[in-house]
Amino acid sequence: MDSQVDLRSIARGTPGFSGADLANLVNEAALFAGRANRAIVTNDDMQEARDKVLMGVERRSVVLSELDRVNCAYHEAGHAVVAALLPKADPLHKVTIIPRGRAMGVTMQLPEADRHTYTKEYLETQVAVLMGGRAAEELFMNHMTSGASNDIERATDIAQHMVCEWGMSELGPLAFRKPGNTYEADRAHTLSEATAQRVDEEIRKVVMTAYDHARTIVERNRNSVESRAQALLDRESLEADEIKALLATAGARA
C-alpha cells in the first residue's frame, strides 16, 4: 500500500512540508519578531510566518477595483461554504481577500493530520471545494471570470490522477500514464484514441459532477455565502472560529 505525496503538491509542483520548509518557517517568524524589535519570537510571529509560507506573502500594494474586491469576496466565500459544509473536507483554517503571491484571495484548509492516502470521496470533495468559487461568482455576480483559472487547473489535475493513476473511475484499476519517465514514453504510443476519449470523458464527469454539487450547495446556502462575503469585505480575513460561528448563525447545510 502506497503513501502519496501531499495533494497540494500535485497542483502546485512543490512537495509537502520538508525540513527545509520548517527551517524557513522559523526564520520567517524570527524576521517578523525582528521587524517589531522583539527579542523573543512569539506564537503570533509563528502563525504569521506559517500563513506566509503556506499562502504566499501579502501584497498590500496591489490595488483592486471595488468590483474585483467584491467578486473576490464572493468567490472565496463560495470556496469556504462548500469546504465548511462537506463532511469529508479538510477543516477550514483561514479565508482572506488580501492579495498574496499571485492570488487575489485565499481559502486555506488544513488537514487534522498528515494524509498518506486519499479516498475517492475526499478527492471528490476537494474538487467540489475548488468549484465553489466559480459557482458563487455565477450565482451572486451573475458572471464568470478568469479568477478561477488555478481552481480549474487543480480540479482537472485531481480528476486526472483519479482516473489515470488511482483507478477511481469506470475505467477501473488501470494506469493510463506515468509522467517524467522515458520507459513510459513507449507506453504512451499504445494509448489509442478510443481509450484517450474514454479517459477524457471520465475526467470530465468527475469535474462536472463536483461543479454541479458545488453549485447546489451555494444555491441552498445563499445566506451563508452572502454573510461570509460581507464579513470578508468588512474585515478582509476570517479565522476558522469566526467562520464556524457565521455558519451556525446562518443554519447552513450541505
- Residue 150 to residues 84, 86, 133, 217, Cα–Cα distance (Å): 21, 21, 11, 21
Using the rule CB under 8 A, which residue among 23, 26, 188, 245 binds a copy of itself? 188
Q: How far is the CB of 111 from a copy of itself (least distance, A)?
A: 9
Cβ-based neighbours of 66, under 8 Å, separated by 6 or more: none
148 DSSP assignment: G
Residue closer to a copy of itself (CB basis): 188 or 245: 188
Residues in CB range of 203: below 8 A, 6 or more apart: 156, 159, 160, 163
User: In the range 193-252, which residues lie near a copy of itself by CB under 8 A?
Assistant: 193-197, 199-200, 203-204, 207-208, 211
Q: Measured from the CB atom, is 29 or 168 closer to a copy of itself?
A: 168
Residues 163-182 that bind a copy of itself (CB under 8 A): 164-168, 172-180, 182
- Round to whole Å and give the CA distance between 160 and 82: 22
In the region spanning residues 16 to 75, those forming contacts with a copy of itself, defined by CB under 8 A, are 62-65, 68, 71-72, 75
- Is position 14 an interface residue for a copy of itself (rule: CB under 8 A)? no
- The active-site residue, picked from 76, 124, 137, 138, is 76
Q: What mask of x and - would describe binding to a copy of itself in positions 82 to 101, judged by CB under 8 A? A: -----------------x--
How many Å apart are CA 214 and CA 125, to the nearest integer? 9
Closest distance between a copy of itself and the C-beta of residue 36, in Å?
28
Q: Which amino acid is located at 164 in the chain?
A: C
Q: Which of 38, 60, 187, 253 binds a copy of itself (CB under 8 A)?
A: 187
Dist CA 240 CA 94 (whole Å): 6
The 111-130 contact track toward a copy of itself, x by CB under 8 A, reads --xxxxxxxxx-x-------
- 170 noted as active-site residue: no
Nearer to a copy of itself, 44 or 219 (CB): 219
Q: Which three cell numbers stand for residue 219?
A: 444555491
Binding of residue 134 to a copy of itself (CB under 8 A): yes
Contact with a copy of itself (CB under 8 A) among 150, 216, 223, 237: 150
Angstrom CA distances, 123 to 36, 76, 142, 156, 160, stand at 41, 19, 28, 11, 11
Nearest-angstrom CA–CA distance, 200 and 4: 23
Q: How many CB atoms lie within 10 A of CB 220?
A: 15
What positions carry a catalytic annotation? 76
